[in-house]
Amino acid sequence: MAIGPALKRLWRHRAFRRLLTVRVLSQAADGTLQVGMASYVLFSPQSQPDAWAIAGVLALTLLPFTVVGPFVSTYLDRWSRRQVTVISDTIRCALAVVIGAIIAANLTEGGWQVVLFGALLVAMSINRFMLAGLSAGMQYTVEDDEYLSASSILPTVGPLGLVIGAVLGFGARAGLGPFLPAHQADAVVFWVAALGFFCSVLVSRRFGRDALGPEPGQPVTAAREVLAGLGEAWAHLRTRGPAGLGLASMFVSRLLFGMLTVIVILALRNLYHVGNPDAALADLTVWGLMTGAGFILATPFVPVAARRVGLRRTAVGVLLLGGVAQLVPVLVGGKWALFVISFFVGLAAQSLKICVDTLVQAHVAEEFKGRVFVFYDMLFNGAFVLAAVVVALALPETGVAAAGFAVLAAVWLALAVAFELVSRAIGRAAFERGTEDLTLA
DSSP state of 432: T
Between residues 420 and 374, the one the model is more confident about: 420
Give yes or no for residue 70 having a pLDDT over 90: no
Lowest mean per-residue pLDDT among 74-83, 89-98, 115-124, 149-158: 149-158
Q: What is the pLDDT of residue 433?
A: 73
Q: What is the pLDDT of residue 217?
A: 62
CA distance 418 to 257: 18
Which whole number is the average pLDDT over 249-274? 93
CA distance 157 to 114: 33
pLDDT band for 326, please (50, 70, 90 cuts): very high
Amino acid at 423: S
Which whole number is the average pLDDT over 198-224? 82
Between residues 315 and 129, the one the model is more confident about: 315
My answer on whether omega of the bond before 214 falls inside 30° of 0, hence cis, is: yes
Max Cα distance, the chain (Å): 63
Lowest mean per-residue pLDDT among 107-111, 184-188, 283-287, 406-410: 107-111
CA distance 412 to 339: 18
Q: What is the pLDDT of residue 435?
A: 64
Which whole number is the average pLDDT over 411-421? 97
CA distance 416 to 313: 10
4-436: CATH, from 3.20.20.80, 1.20.1250.20, 1.20.1740.10, 3.30.300.10: 1.20.1250.20
How many Cβ atoms sit within 10 Å of the Cβ of residue 118? 13
